[in-house]
Structure 1
Amino acid sequence: MTAFSSLTGRLLVAMPGIDDDRFRHAVILICAHDDEHAMGLRLDQPAPGVNLSDVLKKLDTPVTDATSGQPVLIGGPMERERGFVLHTDDWANDDVTLAFGDGLAVTGTRDALAAMSDPEKGPRLSILVLGYAGWGEGQLEEELGENVWLTAEADPALIFDADYATKWSRALAGLGVDAARLSAQSGRA
Structure 2
Amino acid sequence: MLETTYLTNHFLIAMPALADPHFHQTVTYICMHSEEGAMGIIINRPMDIDLGEILEHMEIEIEDPRASRMAVFEGGPVQRERGFVLHRPVGRWDAMVTAGLRNDLGITVSRDILEAIAQGRGPKDVFIALGYAGWEAGQLEHELANNSWLSTPADNDILFRVPPEKRWQAAASQLGVDLNLLSSDAGHC
Normalising by the residue count of structure 2, what TM-score does the alignment of the two structures yield? 0.90
Aligned-pair identity in percent equals 38
Unpaired runs of 5+ in structure 2?
Answer: none
In structure 2, the CA distance between the partners of 1:186 and 1:118, relative to structure 1 (3 Å rule), is farther
Q: Which runs of 4+ in 1 moved over 6 A?
A: none
1:8–1:101 CA contact under 8 A, matched in 2: no
Equivalenced residue count is 184
Q: Is the 8 A contact 2:67 2:120 kept in 1?
A: no
TM-score of the aligned structures, taking structure 1 as reference length = 0.90
Q: Would you say 1:156 and 2:156 are equivalent positions?
A: yes
Asked if structure 2 preserves the Cα contact closer than 8 Å seen for 1:15 and 1:150, the reply is yes
Matches within 5 A, 1:84-123: 84-93=84-93, 96-99=95-98, 100-120=101-121, 122-123=122-123
Q: Which whole-Å deviations, capped at 9, do the CAs of 1:58-112 have from their partners, x for residues lacking one?
A: 222232133131110000000001111111143232x521121351111111112
1:159-186 CA deviation, whole Å, 9 max, x = no partner? Answer: 0136111111111112111122112246
Give the secondary-structure state (helix, strand or coil) at the position aligned to 2:41: strand
Structure 1: segments with no counterpart, 5+ residues: none
Residue type matched to 1:68 in 2? S
2:29 is equivalent to residue 29 of structure 1 = yes
For 1:35, give the aligned amino acid: E
Distance 1:186 1:92, change over 3 A: farther
Task: Give, in whole Å, the separation in 2 of the partners of 1:162 and 1:144.
Answer: 25
Shift of 1:140: 0.5
For 2:58, give the aligned amino acid: L
Aligned to 1:61: 60
